[in-house]
Amino acid sequence: MVFSNNIGVRPLFDRVSCTYTYLVYDRETLDAVIIDPVRETFSRDLRVINQMGLKLSWCLETHVHADHITSAALFVKEFGVKIALGEKADVECRNAVQFSDNQFLEVTKDLKIRVITTPGHTICSVCFHVEDFLFTGDTLFVRGCGRTDFQMGSPRDLYESVHRKLYILNDETRVLPGHDYNGEMFSTIGEEKKFNPRLQESKGLEEFTEIMNHLNLPYPEKIDQALPANLRCGEEA
């Protein structure tokens, strides 16, 4: 558990897709949102929400995922939550609300989440900023970043999103990524600016593009099932 003033963050992990899901809540009222939940871990997440006495009103998606199916639709069924996505997400979902750059999602007087549009990993990628927590999805990982070769991704967009919109934040801002494949949990903007091998502050766009265009990553295993399902926010067809 991590706290900043009146905001609590409870991280959860899916071992199969290496996805981080986060519960973010107002410690006084226990109003809560869940970020990037995974369908396979729905019952675990539900158990934690109930045990903590959280009142879940929103499910936030950092983007339309290609590697796992979201449990957003299950949370709509369970609690009638709304689903928050970036304005460029081409989804058809019940209860979806799309946010533009710098728009706030107000849950309570303390839990006000700023949406930062950060295209690059996908065209619809966003980060969520509350207190000194930054939920970066696949835009920025601890010492890495998401790939840019699918879903209208672009190395240039990702580079500019990170440098112009994330690296301007306070160095102490905590980076809570959408995935981790190396057993790390979170870092800070200051650390990433110094040590991220792809996105070190001193590295230019050309070098970054070169790296991203030569990753030689395999075709994402679950993309053909995950994308169509996630365009419905995980609702069964």
Residues in touch with Fe ion (CB under 5 A) = 138
The CB-of-165 to Fe ion minimum distance in angstroms stands at: 18
Is 8 or 146 the residue whose CB approaches Fe ion more closely? 146
Nearer to Fe ion, 26 or 138 (CB): 138
- CB nearer Fe ion, residue 99 or residue 141: 141
As given in the structure block, the two tokens for residue 83 are 């689903």
102: three-class secondary structure by DSSP: coil
In the bound complex, what is the minimum distance in angstroms from residue 68's beta carbon to Fe ion? 9
- Which tokens sit at 202? 């001193």
Q: How far is the CB of 199 from Fe ion (least distance, A)?
A: 16
Beta-bridged to residue 112, according to DSSP, are: 106
- For the CB of residue 118, give the shortest distance to Fe ion in the complex, in Å: 12
Q: Are 75 and 56 in contact (CB under 8 A)?
A: yes
Smallest separation, CB 179 to Fe ion (Å): 7
Cβ(169)–Cβ(116) below 8 Å? no
Alpha-carbon span 189 to 211, nearest angstrom: 21
d(CA 47, CA 110) in angstroms, rounded, equals 25
Which CB sits closer to Fe ion, 57 or 125?
125
Helix (H) or strand (E) holding 136: strand 133-137
- Closest-CB residue for Fe ion? 138
Tokens encoding 155: 């190395």
For Fe ion, the closer CB: 50 or 213 = 213
